[in-house]
Amino acid sequence: MPPHTFKSKYLIIFFLISLLLFLFTSLKITLTTTIPNPPPSSDIPGIKIRPGYTSYELYINRQLNKTLNPKLRKIWATRDWDRKIRVFAGFFEDLKQKNLLSNSSKSLCVGARMGQEVEALRRVGVSDSVGIDLVPSPPLVVKGDFHRQPFDDGSFDFEFSNVFDHALYPEKFVGEIERTLRPGGVCVLHVALSTRSDKYSANDLLGVEPLKKLFKRSELVHVRTVDGFGLDTEVVFRKKQVTSGGP
């Protein structure tokens, strides 16, 4: 065969290899740009972060979608209002009898929606109570993200929450509670252990042990079964008086 054909054969092979390399690299770029960031993972065994929250913005929007849902808000403000306050007031009376809460406790409800828990606290005599939620609901609930509470360290004697399952970063949720509680302060969580929580949940909690791991600066006070609007377990922690050295 003539030398020039031989040469062009190599040229074609060279061209094909270049083309393949080019296609491969551009394909790789497309792949890496279309695969979303992995969801935040939880290092704590027994807490499963639900997949699909590819950004914090998406997560917040989804939470807002529930909080701002006009149908839900109407139910919360009418049919649910008194019933919930009565049930919460029962829980709080019980905590008062166990000396975990008193009329003079400065109290915070974390993820308080329209403030039924706050109203219940006030009705049982805990007058210095407020709630936070992504959407404020004056005068009971101020605007605040529970992953970053808008309060100074040691601000509260008592914190209550029934929205642990909505935390995308459970360690931050708990860390913020422990930060804003004073030493000796009490945190009461209502969680779902045997039931599955709602479609707006960001995590699934499989037991009390993971909570004990998260509450690094507190001691477990009690665990008991409750009937709290689909949440079946009350877990109470008390922040230690002295947080000994270490980070």
Ligand X SMILES: *[C@@H]1O[C@H](CO)[C@@H](O)[C@H](O)[C@H]1NC(C)=O
Q: Does 62 bind ligand X (CB under 6 A)?
A: yes
Cβ-based nearer residue to ligand X, 58 or 206: 58
Q: How many residues belong to the site for ligand X (CB under 6 A)?
A: 5
Hey, which residues does 142 pair with through a beta bridge? 132
Query: Of residues 65, 195, 225, 243, which one binds ligand X by CB under 6 A?
Result: 65
Q: 181, 211 in Cβ contact below 8 A?
A: no
Tell me how far apart the alpha carbons of residues 182 and 239 are, in angstroms, rounded to a whole number.
7
Which parts of 158-217 interact with ligand X (CB under 6 A)?
Answer: none
Q: 68, 135 in Cβ contact below 8 A?
A: yes
Tell me how far apart the alpha carbons of residues 16 and 201 are, in angstroms, rounded to a whole number.
51
Cβ-based nearer residue to ligand X, 60 or 87: 60
Nearest distance from residue 43's CB to ligand X, in Å?
Answer: 27
In one letter, which amino acid is 23? L
Q: Does 26 bind ligand X (CB under 6 A)?
A: no
Q: Does 46 bind ligand X (CB under 6 A)?
A: no
Cβ-based nearer residue to ligand X, 18 or 69: 69
Q: 197, 165 in Cβ contact below 8 A?
A: yes
Nearest distance from residue 72's CB to ligand X, in Å?
Answer: 10
Stretch that binds ligand X, among 6-14, 16-24, 60-68, 218-226 (CB under 6 A): 60-68
Query: Of residues 25, 30, 61, 195, which one binds ligand X by CB under 6 A?
Result: 61
Q: Outline where DSSP puts E strands in the chain.
A: 47-49, 107-110, 129-133, 141-143, 156-161, 181-191, 203-205, 218-228, 231-239
How many CA atoms within 13 Å lie on the side-chain side of 47? 25
Which parts of 119-138 interact with ligand X (CB under 6 A)?
Answer: 125
Nearest distance from residue 47's CB to ligand X, in Å?
Answer: 23
Q: 154, 183 in Cβ contact below 8 A?
A: yes
Nearest distance from residue 126's CB to ligand X, in Å?
Answer: 8
Binding site for ligand X (CB under 6 A): 61-62, 65, 103, 125
